[in-house]
Amino acid sequence: MKSRNGQKLFGTDGVRGRVGEPPITPDSVLKLGWAAGRVMGGGNGGKIVIGKDTRVSGYLLESALEAGLSSAGMNISLIGPMPTPGIAYLTRTARARAGIVISASHNPYYDNGIKFFLPDGSKLPSSVETDIERLMDEPMRTVSAAKLGKAERFPGAPGRYIEYCKSTVPSNLSLSGLKLVVDCANGASYHIAPSVFEELGAEVIAVGVEPDGFNINENCGSTEPEFLQRLVAENHADVGIALDGDGDRVVMVDENAKLLDGDRILYIMISTRLENNLMRGGVVGTSMTNLGLELACRQKKIPFERVDVGDRYIHQKLRKNGWVLGGEPSGHILCLDKSSTGDGIIAALDVLEAMVSRSRRLSELAIGMEKFPQANISVPLADSKRLPNEVIMMPIVQEALRKVEQSLGSGGRVVLRPSGTEPVIRVMVEGKDKQEVAGFGQQLANVLTSIKIGS
């Protein structure tokens, strides 16, 4: 697995792949645990916390990581199933040397991955990833028996994280009178999210809370919001909330069963902070952020910047600029005034707080941002040996791209990019006319599909 920056292991969000295939094999993960322990511990030991989502392979990878870390002299604190942002929080409060999450986020159960957090709960910079990868090429040397790390359970982890989520809204906030449908994607939030909203007074209809190791993200969660939309309509709910398998993404559904993606959620946060004179700096989106959000920010005289896809890049730009709000259409929302990383539960609470404080329905809060039609297509690579960027830069692809961009003019955008989590190329075309955008998207997808192995 190669990432866009040429690294062997790390992609846009940790190390990821199909279980049983490199690098997600027991021996590779054992070595990764050892290498990470050496780098993060600095040779001086310390504690690393490990959490996971609900995939059946989590047991296997957790054991491999535990052995690798112990062999590097690191102590291990095992949290069990916990949302990714919960691991970031507990890493910080436990004063750990690092946090590790075993998860493939929104991917199917047969995939898995390893994500890392620094002691402050932020994701690893590329320099640390490079240091870990360098050690992967060296012989694995176990510390002496007297220095081996020990493993223990992390006490009271779910309750601590639940209380933290609640602390991000005013202590007098009550969600009483709101009926919520909460879809936990049969993932890491299944035992966390319903309790957060219920303890704040909401009536909660919880779904996707029966994980069996195989049903994570299956026909539910933020990547399959139709399920939530149907339940909101059937139950006459006020709001629907869908998280992904590891709880760092969220999409919402209003009382009319209309979907609100990450762009609309971010717009509500911006508007509410402006209304309350709490807006700090500007907003960071990605190349996939809808042009409508950028124009809405411009209208409100809010600075807006784009970065590459991936919440780590959003985080880096926010920190550099001293801003706090950023996000992706997929539902990765960063509120650095409330959490060190993207957190689906905390983002949803932010919107619910806006509904209560502004006495408006969710549909009313979303008024004011007009989205441009987008076509989003994922095209599998025909040749697994060819790098996605190599395919994108082929003359036949570049010529097709030039023609589409010329036709769209200043009223649209085209983005061709490699996925950071799957062996596919993402095609995004955005413009004013829905049918035209769809046609251009299919044109580009057809060109990519026509490229034969070895051509």
Listed residue (77, 29, 189, 196) closest to 207, CA to CA: 189
Q: Which fold has domain 177-257?
A: Alpha-D-Glucose-1,6-Bisphosphate; Chain A, domain 3 (3.40.120)
| Confidence class for position 43, pLDDT limits 50, 70, 90 | confident
Return the pLDDT at 3. 36
Question: What pLDDT score does 276 carry?
Answer: 94
Is the model more confident about 54 or about 11?
Answer: 54
pLDDT bucket at 2, cuts 50 / 70 / 90? very low
Question: Tokens in use for 187?
Answer: 């993932």
**Angle at alpha carbon of residue 95, lines to 93 and 100, rounded to 5°:** 85
Sort residue 43 into left (φ over 0), alpha (ψ -120 to 50) or beta.
left
370-411 residue pLDDT tens:
999 999 999 997 766 677 888 899 999 999 999 999 999 988
Q: Which of 28, 57, 105, 195 is catalytic?
A: 105
CB 191 within 8 A of CB 208: no
| pLDDT tens digits, one per residue of 276-286 | 999 999 999 99
Tell me the pLDDT band of 12, cut-offs 50, 70 and 90: confident
Which has the closest alpha carbon to 451: 370, 398, 383?
383
Domain 261-371 class? alpha beta
What is residue 387's predicted lDDT score, i.e. its pLDDT? 77
Distance of CA 309 to the CA centre of its chain: 11
- Residue 34 clears pLDDT 50, i.e. is over it: yes
Rounded-to-integer distance, Cα 436 and Cα 417, Å: 21
> 454 pLDDT band (50/70/90 cuts)?
low
Residues 291-339: pLDDT tens digits? 999 999 999 999 999 999 888 899 999 999 999 999 999 999 999 999 9
Q: What integer best gives the mean pLDDT of the chain?
A: 94
Given this chain, do its domains 177-257 and 374-450 carry the same CATH topology? no
Query: Under CATH, which number does the domain 15-155 receive?
Result: 3.40.120.10
What pTM does this model have?
Answer: 0.91
Encode pLDDT of 152-162 as tens digits: 999 999 999 99
> Is residue 28 annotated as a catalytic residue, yes or no?
no
Question: What are the boundaries of each domain within the chain?
Answer: 15-155, 177-257, 261-371, 374-450
Residue 388 · residue 421 · CB < 8 Å: no
Q: How far apart are CA 18 and CA 24, in angstroms?
A: 6
Q: Are 351 and 268 in contact (CB under 8 A)?
A: yes
- Running DSSP on this structure, what letter comes out for residue 332? B
Q: Fill in the amino acid letter for 27.
A: D
pLDDT exceeds cutoff 80 at 414: yes
Each residue's pLDDT tens digit, 60-105? 999 999 999 999 999 999 999 999 999 999 999 999 999 999 999 9
Q: State the pLDDT at residue 451.
A: 85
| Mean pLDDT (whole number) for 25-47 | 94
Q: Residue 270: which of 288, 295, 287, 253 has the closest Cα?
A: 295
Question: CATH code for 374-450?
Answer: 3.30.310.50
- β-sheet with 413-418: strand ranges across: 374-380, 424-430, 413-418
